[in-house]
Amino acid sequence: MALQVGIVGLPNVGKSTLFNAVSNSAKAQASNYRFCTIEPNVGLVDVPDARLMKLEELVKPNRVVPTTIEFVDIAGLVKGASKGEGLGNKFLANIREVDAIVHVIRCFEDDNILRDEGPIHPVGDKGIIDTELQLKDLESVEKKISRTEKMAKTGGDPKAKREYEILKQCQEHLEQGRNIRELNLSKEDSVAIADLFLLTAKPVLYVANVDEASIHTGNKFSEALAVAAKEEGAQVIIMNNSIEAQISEMEDPADKELFLSEYSLTEPGLNRLIRSAYDLLQLITYFTAGVQEVRAWTIHQGWKAPQAASVIHTDFEKGFIKAEVIAYDDYVKFGSETAARDNGRLRIEGKEYIVADGDVMHFRFNV
């Protein structure tokens, strides 16, 4: 599944530094000047999962393949972007294509790093980007309202009338300076705006980029951001992007472990970020485990077995017969597929089975 998370923020807040840290397939240029990132950088990121390592230990396969998420480093946005200021149009086109947003916000003071927006103000910075995205969404919503209004009022079509009502609701919400995701529209109602790919409808995760002294406890800036994020039901992750970039460049696990211990960290903050982004997209993982390969597969929560099989190959879904399923905990408890089977913990599930996070699966199919 090619799912993308866009890294956004004002210029010089640490976006590209964060991208350098999370990406294991590309390195973005990180410099102290505006619009350093023009074309979006794209990198595949392995999703850290201790369960995969445990399965490797038990199965001893020829290779191990983790699941991944694609991160996109998007050009910095400025006030007026919705009207084309800076690289606004390019920024907004790039962000429209991603599935979720990681919004990096500066939560540290440093006179050596340029900042045109005045004193450090995380909530204000969040508001700048929120406003630009809301203005662009409002433009899209109003255009569709003008197209559907006559049909809704004179056509007698209940579907058109409901669509018009939802669009007006979105318009009012945006005019109040609120994001569409806060409306919590049902799946049925979301159809009315699905074709607009609204920017503020995308799920968001905030990264408070703090100084070294604040990586464990945060600071007054990150605390203010957390309060603002809570109002829209969003999560804030506290990180020092420069430290994370240094950790990511270390190839020797011993060196990395020593570096982490110096900062009293049990794992890189990136691991939390990647897992949180994964959860933000409402994704889960199932595994296939054999001597040739142990592999993690990404699917959406609530997918049934044939849909889950399709991420391996579309033929698996078309010719789906049954799925052999062992819960991860049972696999670990008994130590192997054979032992789990012998103890009655291998189940045969059909087309209506909803795959659970951590399931170890084999699919029976016929094409």
Question: What tokens does 41 get?
Answer: 């950088």
Say which residues have a Cβ less than 8 Å from residue 27's Cβ, sequence separation at least 6. Answer: 20, 41, 43
Contact 94, 6 (CB under 8 A): yes
Report the alpha-carbon distance of residue 283 to residue 343 in Å, rounded.
30
Residue 10 is which amino acid?
L
Per the annotation, does 16 bind a ligand? yes
Report the alpha-carbon distance of residue 202 to residue 95 in Å, rounded.
10
DSSP 8-state code for residue 4? E
Report the alpha-carbon distance of residue 86 to residue 90 in Å, rounded.
9
At 13, phi and psi to the nearest 5?
A: -105, -5
Radius of gyration (C-alpha) of the chain in whole angstroms: 23
Is 287 in a helix, a strand, or coil? strand
Report the alpha-carbon distance of residue 49 to residue 295 in Å, rounded.
11
**Which CA distances in Å does 231 have to 141, 224, 324?**
24, 11, 43
Per the annotation, does 13 bind a ligand? yes
Report the alpha-carbon distance of residue 240 to residue 23 in Å, rounded.
16
Nearest to 101 by CA among 211, 8, 238: 8
Question: What tokens does 309 get?
Answer: 């099989």
Q: Which residue's structure tokens are 């609530």?
A: 302
Question: What tokens does 217 get?
Answer: 């406890």
Per the annotation, does 17 bind a ligand? yes
From the annotation, which residues make up the binding site for ATP? 12-17
From the annotation, which residues make up the binding site? 12-17
